[in-house]
Amino acid sequence: MARTLPPLARFLIRRVITAILLAWGITLVTFVLTNLVPGDPVAANLGQRAMNDPAIVAQWRAEHGLDKPLWEQYGLYLQGMLQGDLGTSQQSHRPVAQDLAEFVPATLELAGAAILVSLVLGVAFGVLAALRRDRLPDHVLRVLSLIGISVPTFWLALVAFYVFFYRLQITPGSGRVDPALGMAPGVTGLQTVDALIAGRWDVFTSAVGHLITPALVLALYTIGLLTRFTRSAVLEVLGQDYVRAARAKGLPGRTVLFRYVLRSALVPVITVAGLAFGSLLSGTVLVEAIFAWPGIGQYAYKSATTLDLPAVMGVGLVVGVVYLVINLIVDVLYGVIDPRVRLQ
Amino acid sequence: MRRDPLARKGLLRRLPEAWRQPLAVVGVVIALAWVVIAVAAPVLAPHDPLAQELPRLAPPGPEHWFGTDQLGRDILSRVMYGARVSIPLTVLLVAMSVLIGGLLGACAGYFGKWVDESIMRLADLVFAFPTVILAMVVAAALGASLTNAVLAVLVVAWPAYARVTRGLVLGVRGREFVLSGRLLGFSAWRSLRVDVLPNVTGPILVLATLDIGTALLLLSGLSFLGLGAKPPSPEWGSMVASGVEVFDSWWVATFPGLAILTVVLAFNFLGDTLRDALDPRTARAIKERAL
């Protein structure tokens, strides 16, 4: 069967099957992890007085299906998941799917802005460092990018909030848009996009203003990482014979850089950027709290500390799926950038 | 000890060049300074890190160089004592990850077949999961304490070593000197210990050096979220968290954060230089310049 399909379709099918297996693995890990450990969700959710009343405890356990054997709980969860039901959060008393639909776009907007900034700045800095190797710009960028990957994100968020909002008052405070303006209604859930679609220029500028600081804070680590990676990738390509040949036949420097060097140097960079997006998503846990950004980072934190199992599994699943989708995009991009991959 | 003579010589010859790198020297100096501070904290610290004295929330001044927190504790002393909490735990944590991940990875690479499959699929699973969230879930499930935070980071940290060790072992396994050892009648364990492991330690040590920074960031991040050190203990991450409550008093959060930054930076300076020196591609560049 698979023989008759074109290579791209075969490749995509294989990737999607791997993705589904991994997503299933994620639910299994979270489920086992959250059930085998000593923490008790009942104690975490009910008050001390309610805990002393066996009737209330039993009722609560029955309500959340905790009185059934473990394998049955897991089976029920999987069954619900296939129907788009991720269970009910023990904290918000709402369906987890509904909670996620509300919080995921905010985080995607933040992480998406951060990865864009990282790619632009990281690649630019990396190319600059490689072209000026062992000269001043290279040394300065090396120290700066190492500082970038060494700064504790949660601390930087706090410092940025203090300096830019509290002291200098040049950035707006917490949240996604100015509450006086109200959120732009829209389908994507991304405030910047929704505001543009709705033609609300005021909401758009407010959303961008709110986005800048947390996105930059979140991006700093990835900027440093991509700078280092781009530098070594470009250096490696610069020494290749075909680059020397392109120079020798008198092609302008810009053509050599963009058509010959960057094209092959960007392949490893894009792999790293794809991996970094996953860490950006979980890095939002530490940034969202400071900027009161209503995303899955804060949701994950609240769920984890109260052992809200359905919610934690939901977050794990969403982040895992986003991660897999990003990797899929990266794999397809390989083919676009590097013709050798396409031939295989 | 039987080693691959070529690899060994190369490693030794490249190491001294690393020390000509100013960044590595700066990294070593900062790291050593922190070790001295950690060891000599009781002598160096001007105040008791737990003593609650007036004035509260005093800004940095001659009496309290880094100011005091909302309970009137001297922040400089707490930052110094914090080094005794964070640094040994992080080193222990990375050492344990190297040991567990390295051993599992070596077994996977050496024995192959189902051992390889089961270990590496487990590692894939941890990789697929978002690091901070997995660590957070483990820490929350085990209960908030520093030991559990270390265990949580360990759960997410070992697969990287397993993967790298496996790859390196796969590369060495088929070489003549390993095969000749096996033909001489070495047991699998002896062959692994005597022939294989000495040839894979270099790259793993570099990875470990770079990882100390990452591990400290994750560990202090968990403490910042309230899933690590308990309140009176002077731990840097939780000290930054207490600074969130008293936002105006910038010094409460700033100095412990700078402590984390400098330690992580020191190990990244060192690790980055080591990686350059051991990576044959960039090593050539370093050598060209040294000539």
Contacts of B272 in chain A (CB under 8 A): 142, 146, 228
pLDDT in tens, B63-92: 777 888 878 788 888 989 989 988 999 999
| Span B154-187, pLDDT tens digits | 988 888 888 888 888 887 877 888 888 888 888 8
Across chain A, mean pLDDT equals 80
Taking CA atoms, what residue in A is nearest to B289? A134
- Residue of chain B nearest A232, judged by CA positions: B282
Q: Which residue of B has its CA nearest to A323?
A: B128
The torsion angles phi and psi of A95, rounded to 5 degrees, stand at -60, 135
pTM here?
A: 0.82
Cβ neighbours of B56 (radius 10 Å): 14
- For residue A254, name the pLDDT band (cuts at 50, 70, 90): confident
Higher-pLDDT residue of B102 and A172 is B102
Distances (CA, A) of A70 to B15, B93, B111: 54, 32, 34
**Peptide bond connecting A69 to the previous residue in cis, omega within 30 degrees of 0:** no
Between A203 and A129, the more confident residue is A129
Q: B34-39+65-290 has which CATH code?
A: 1.10.3720.10
Predicted pLDDT at B36: 93
Percent of chain B with pLDDT over 90: 15
| pLDDT the model gives residue A343 | 52
Domain boundaries, chain B: 34-39+65-290
**Given CB atoms, is B265 within the 8 Å cutoff of chain A?**
yes
CB < 8 Å to A134, chain B: 285, 289
The predicted-structure confidence for A217-236, as pLDDT tens digits, reads as follows 999 999 999 998 899 888 88
| Residue whose structure tokens are 């894009």 | A270
Of A191, A32, A13, A224, the C-alpha closest to A110 is A191
Confidence of residue B290 (pLDDT cuts 50, 70, 90): very low
* Tens digits of residue pLDDT in B224-266: 888 888 778 888 998 998 888 887 888 888 899 999 999 999 9
For residue B286, what pLDDT band results from cuts at 50, 70 and 90?
very low
Q: Spell out the domain ranges in chain A.
A: 101-295
Count A/B contacts: CB-CB distance under 8 Å: 147
User: ipTM for the complex?
Assistant: 0.82
Over residues A161-171, mean pLDDT: 82
Q: What is the pLDDT of residue A57?
A: 73
**Nearest chain B Cα to A325, which residue?**
B128
- The per-residue pLDDT for A2 is 47
Inspect the interface and report whether the beta carbons of B128 and A25 lie closer than 8 Å: yes
pLDDT of residue A186: 67
Query: If you measure CA to CA, which chain B residue comes closest to A235?
Result: B282
Q: What is the pLDDT of residue A285?
A: 84
B 104-143: CB under 8 A from A = 124-126, 128-134, 136-143
Q: What six digits make up the tokens of B103?
A: 């051993």
Query: What tens digit of pLDDT does each residue of A279-319 get?
Result: 788 788 888 888 888 888 888 888 877 777 778 778 877 88
Q: If you classify domain A101-295 with CATH, what class do you get? A: mainly alpha
| H or E element that contains B44 | helix B22-44
Contacting residues of B for A324, CB less than 8 Å apart: 128
CA distance readout (Å), A22 to A28, A74, B126: 10, 16, 10
Paired with A88 in beta bridges are A95
Q: pLDDT by residue (tens digit) across A178-206?
A: 776 766 666 677 777 777 777 777 888 88
Q: Most distant CA pair in chain B: distance in Å? A: 74
Cβ partners under 8 Å of residue B124, min gap 6: A22, A25, B159
- All residues of chain B having their beta carbon less than 8 Å from the beta carbon of residue A152 are 217, 220-221, 224, 237, 240, 257, 260-261, 264
Contact yes or no for A286 and B142 at CB 8 A: no
Residue A47 has a pLDDT of: 63
Name the residue facing B143 among A39, A235, A301 (closest C-beta).
Answer: A39
